[in-house]
Amino acid sequence: MNAYFLPRDRVDELVGRLLRAAEVIAPKRVETGDVFYSPVSSPGEVAWDYKTAVEPLKRFLLPQQETVLRFSTGEKLRVEPVLEEKDRIFLAVRNCDVTGVNVLDAMFGGEIEDPYYMARRRRATFISLACLEADEQCFCVCGDAGPFLKNGYDQQWTPLAEGMLIEVGSDKGQALADAHQDLLSPAEPDQVAEKLQLAKRAEETFGEFRSYIAAAMRRLTLAETPDEVWERLADHCVECGGCTFLCPTCSCFTVTDRLEGDGGVRERHWDACLYNCYAREASGHNPRAEHSQRLRARFFHKLSHQWAQRNGRHACVGCGRCVVGCQAWAHMSAATEAIRRG
């Protein structure tokens, strides 16, 4: 795929053009200092110097709460789907988060397409900004999702000393580059070399957290992890659901109907497989009644070979948000460590 160079003094011009073409979602610093991926209205709002955003991109494709259809039950039952269709460019988002979207695609764009997710997904473009420095909770090197990627993005931008290196990863990314050729020049070999240097340096900045994904994957796949490990992990988990909500790849949801007049709306909400009632059946039977069973199911889904084969990869991108958000100590890094120790 092609690579281009965007001089530093033209970055705002290009961002301005993107803003005129679509809704642009970019890292934005809120008043507390936290950073969110959020709609921006001017190039100056983009927090280029951020490390990580509080939340992944999931909310924009699979909202925490969304109306999926409206119905009326008058003389004739009428059902209308509610699809959100608009062009969105996700700018300067992290590679772990772009990889997370690719995992969600396997869930919602696979054998049975989810129309609500796909309506948003088809019109989304992902421009990632490679990380030059890891945040404290990061372990994307273990998750095979960063800090630099070889593919999976529409464009990957790397901040070089004099401007952005723009690598194209898809037809959508190429079309975007083609539309703004007047601002770009083909990348020079020394610019690509500079990127490789930055990538190497970035990998040296990771902190204490890691994830023993290979060990966990083999043992989960072969069910070699003794029950005591899950029971012990259950004592380190308060079932807040934070890891699942913050995870770029978790996709559990539940559906409720909200009645209004002689009709109503059907809503979809994020749910968590760790919650006691997630798998509970109407009879009251709960196939995963024990907390330890729910933890096992979650990590099996994340890391087993069976799921990795189906999705094309395992489902941890190493963003470390479960480390930040865990109310106790049962995040991915702690769990794979517990599994490895057996």
Helices and strands, counts by H and E, the chain: 14, 12
Q: Is 240 in the site for another protein (CB under 8 A)?
A: yes
Region binding another protein by CB under 8 A among candidate stretches 8-16, 102-110, 217-225, 265-273: 265-273
CB 155 within 8 A of CB 173: yes
CB closer to another protein out of 199 and 324? 324
- Quote the CA–CA distance of 172 and 304 in Å, as a whole number: 32
- Going from the C-alpha of 335 to that of each of 40, 230, 236, the distances in angstroms are 37, 9, 10
CB 213 within 8 A of CB 303: yes
What angle is formed at CA 58 by the lines to CA 57 and CA 59, rounded to 5 degrees? 95
Three-state DSSP class for 275? coil
3-state helix, strand, coil in the chain (%, to 5): 40, 20, 40
CB closer to another protein out of 65 and 309? 65
Residues 20-59 that bind another protein (CB under 8 A): 30-34, 36, 38-39, 54-55, 59
Q: Work out which of 80, 87, 171, 235 binds another protein, going by CB under 8 A.
A: 235
CB of 295 to another protein, least distance (A): 13
Q: Work out which of 293, 329, 337, 340 binds another protein, going by CB under 8 A.
A: 329
CB closer to another protein out of 230 and 270? 270
Q: Is 156 in the site for another protein (CB under 8 A)?
A: no
Which of 82, 80, 67, 78 has its CA nearest to residue 262? 78
Q: Is 100 in the site for another protein (CB under 8 A)?
A: no
Applying CB under 8 A, the residues found at the interface with another protein are 30-34, 36, 38-39, 54-55, 59, 63-66, 234-236, 238-242, 245-246, 254, 256, 258-260, 267, 269-271, 275-277, 280, 284, 324-329
